[in-house]
């Protein structure tokens, strides 16, 4: 039987999101943030993780989505279906379950939000490599578990090296505004909105 807790389960698609949100636990002390990620990054695996989280009684499940893998079929259709399935909160009072599932997208990938700690960009990235190159001009960064562990918390690492979460949130908001104005459908991040959500919880 699930117990209602003001807890957020954050589901990323891989180790990057797991280590980043783990590093934010110091920032959001009152909140139980449990980052997790599927062992295989398929939509089906993600759905299983969401179902687990609902059964465990989490009040919020936030899914971090890299859009670079959702540009192509069948992923695109599967992802749209998954979003539609959880468009309304899961409410099962008899089981003591109430859960809001939300999706937060970044195009191409989470590293764009890391770059936003340092500076704004709206340039299109065809692949991850040029994005990682731009990030490395601001701060040394490697997409490896070794590096994530050595950095002793990605968030703190970025801030120690001149980045700022506030700046990242502002830059992310700007990217969404520009996208919604119809300027583009690439190079944007909704992670700023997620950070604001965590602050409200």
Q: Can you give the pLDDT at residue 54?
A: 94
Q: Can you give the pLDDT at residue 7?
A: 82
Q: Can you give the pLDDT at residue 65?
A: 95
Provide the 3-class DSSP secondary structure of residue 86: coil
Provide the 3-class DSSP secondary structure of residue 187: coil
In this prediction the pTM is 0.94
Q: Can you give the pLDDT at residue 1?
A: 38
Q: Which residues of the chain have pLDDT under 70?
A: 1-6, 41
Contact between 62 and 8 under an 8 Å Cβ cutoff? The reply is yes
Nearest residue to 2 via CA among 58, 60, 61, 57: 57
Q: Can you give the pLDDT at residue 63?
A: 95
């Amino acid at each position: 039987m699930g117990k209602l807790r003001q807890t957020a389960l954050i589901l990323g698609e891989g180790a990057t999101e797991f280590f980043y949100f783990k590093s934010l636990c110091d920032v959001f002390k009152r909140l139980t943030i449990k980052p997790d990620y599927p062992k295989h990054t398929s939509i089906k695996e993600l759905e299983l993780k969401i179902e687990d989280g609902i059964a465990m009684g989490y009040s919020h499940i936030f899914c971090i989505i890299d859009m670079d893998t959702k540009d192509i079929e069948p992923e695109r259709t599967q992802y749209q279906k998954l979003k539609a399935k959880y468009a309304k909160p899961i409410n099962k009072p008899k089981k003591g379950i109430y859960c809001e599932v939300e999706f937060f997208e970044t195009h191409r990938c989470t590293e764009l939000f890391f770059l936003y700690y340092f500076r704004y960009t709206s340039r299109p990235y065809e692949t991850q490599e040029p994005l990682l190159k731009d990030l490395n001009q601001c701060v040394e960064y490697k997409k490896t578990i070794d590096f994530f562990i050595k950095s002793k918390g990605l968030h703190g690492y970025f801030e120690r090296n001149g980045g700022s979460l506030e700046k990242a949130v502002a830059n992310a908001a700007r990217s969404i505004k520009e996208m919604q104005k119809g300027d583009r459908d690439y190079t944007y991040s909704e992670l700023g909105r997620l950070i604001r959500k965590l602050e409200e919880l």
